[in-house]
Amino acid sequence: MNQRHFKYSVVRYLIDIPIILIALLISYNYFPQPEFIFPGRPLLSLLFLFSVVSWYIAAQFSNLYSDLRSKKFSEEIIYILFTVFLFIILLSFFLFMLRDRLYIENKFLLLFLFALMFLVVSTKYMLRKYLHKILYTGRLNDNILLIGATQAAKDFYDTINIHFYYGYQCIGFLDNEVKKLNGCTYLGTINDINTVLEENAVDEVIIALPNSKYEEVRTCLEACDLYGRRVRIIPDLYTYASSNIQINNIGMLPVINLRSLPQDRETNKIVKRAFDIIFSLSFFLILGWWLLPLIAILIKLSSKGSVLFKQERWGLNNKLIVCYKFRSMYHESPETDSNGKFMQASPNDTRVTPFGRFLRKWNLDELPQFWNVLLGNMSVVGPRPHVTPLNVSSMHKVERYMLRHLVKPGITGWAQVNGSRGETRTPHDMQKRVNHDLYYIHNWTFLLDCQIILQTIITIIKGDDNAY
């Protein structure tokens, strides 16, 4: 981390102190507490002290101040929500200990928490936008030296170039055999690493070499130690990509642990199923009871045919399920072309009705699938279920494709909130979607589901270019 980024991190860390004070003053302005005197009113000062201590203790547990450049803001909101949850517990503990000497009205605390949450989210968003602005100019970028020209190295290089706001700038790469890497500057062989580190301002070294190149890896690590450079390794773990990989230590030895899937555990199954039922029932009670009939009436008025569209798709363990959707295409539209090949929905697809285009843009055609969730053959979050022809055509062309059926399919998923939705024109597009699905399957947590739902809502509000 360069000096400028360090200063930014300090500001990001300390700015929550005045935010806590402002939230307290807002609450005091609307609900003044008779015991409080400010300035010089020790009880409000004491509450401010307790709040600051509670907040930063909670933030340490939630990792709120970790480097979140490579995460979306919706993911940062999850960190904030977790911090607020822990903050409430800690502050309640402090107030309980002083319950005989310090009385605070519930409405005061409620407004304080809402104000704090709003101010923290707003401030973090503005800071993130400011960071993106100065990262675009290159003033806060960390200079990266890439070692190796493997597929992982290419993916890493493309990622940091596409997402400039990650704050990484690759000055070049070293490799003993390959001299071209998606436009990245070639700086020499791996043995030239000492010269490169001495002559260039390098903040971090990324090693992306095959497992067999352990001698070259050791050479790079020794050079990084000599010149005091931070180093990270992108492991060549594609061989184990079908497993949930965890790297830990036994003594001084790093060990790769191939664990069972998180959703294989009974407790996690119960948590996920309970959440699916509660979330789906909440949808029907709050929105579904009036929104679904309204959409059905508009579909009926706008075009001939049934309201619902039932389609055979593959679910958990490759079992066939009937997936419910609102009909968005004209009645009896063909599903295959003249050659018998299945036709996916594409931009400006003539089969889609005008109202169906609206439904697809705002993802409203998927709402009947909450009934699938209640039936138990789908989940709110999971890999999107594909139609049978798409499964058959992809299972032999896309690596580890069938592993996406190890869990229930979902209404939304990790692939969809990361841009992999809509038409898959090439096997590479499908491989990208499958890789996202496998990441979700191997790294599932309840918080990840909450994060995906939040990102889905944000994407719907912002609009998705791939929704057609």
Q: For residue range 128-138, list pLDDT tens digits in order.
A: 888 878 777 76
| Rounded (10°) CA dihedral 76, 81, 84, 85 | -140
pLDDT digits (tens, 9 = 90+) for 303-355: 888 999 898 999 998 899 999 999 999 987 887 776 767 777 777 788 989 99
pLDDT for the residue numbered 242: 47
79 near 64, Cβ under 8 Å? yes
Q: Can you give the length of the chain in residues?
A: 468
Cβ-based neighbour number of residue 64 at 10 Å:
23
pLDDT for 52-64, tens place per residue? 999 999 999 988 9
Q: CA dist 50 to 17, 18, 38, 113, Å? A: 12, 14, 16, 14
Cβ-in-10-Å burial (0-12, 13-18, 19+) of 425 comes to exposed
Structure tokens belonging to residue 286? 């709050």
pLDDT given at position 467:
59
In angstroms, the CA 451 to CA 453 distance is 5
Using the predicted structure, report yes or no on whether residue 365 has a pLDDT greater than 60.
Answer: yes
pLDDT band at 236, cuts 50/70/90?
Answer: low
The tens digit of pLDDT for each residue in 139-187 reads: 778 899 999 988 888 888 988 888 777 888 899 999 998 888 888 999 9
Q: How many CB atoms lie within 10 A of CB 230?
A: 12
Q: What is the mean pLDDT of residues 200-206?
A: 91
Q: At what angle do helices 446-462 and 73-97 cross, to 10 degrees?
A: 130
8 A C-beta contact, residue 181 and residue 155: no
Question: What's the CA dihedral at 316, 318, 324, 328 to 10 degrees?
Answer: 130
Provide the β-strand partners of residue 259. 244
User: What sections of 192-328 are H helices per DSSP?
Assistant: 193-199, 214-227, 266-283, 289-302
Could you give all domains of the chain from N- to C-terminal order, each with its CATH number? Answer: 3-136 (no CATH), 142-236 (3.40.50.720), 266-462 (no CATH)
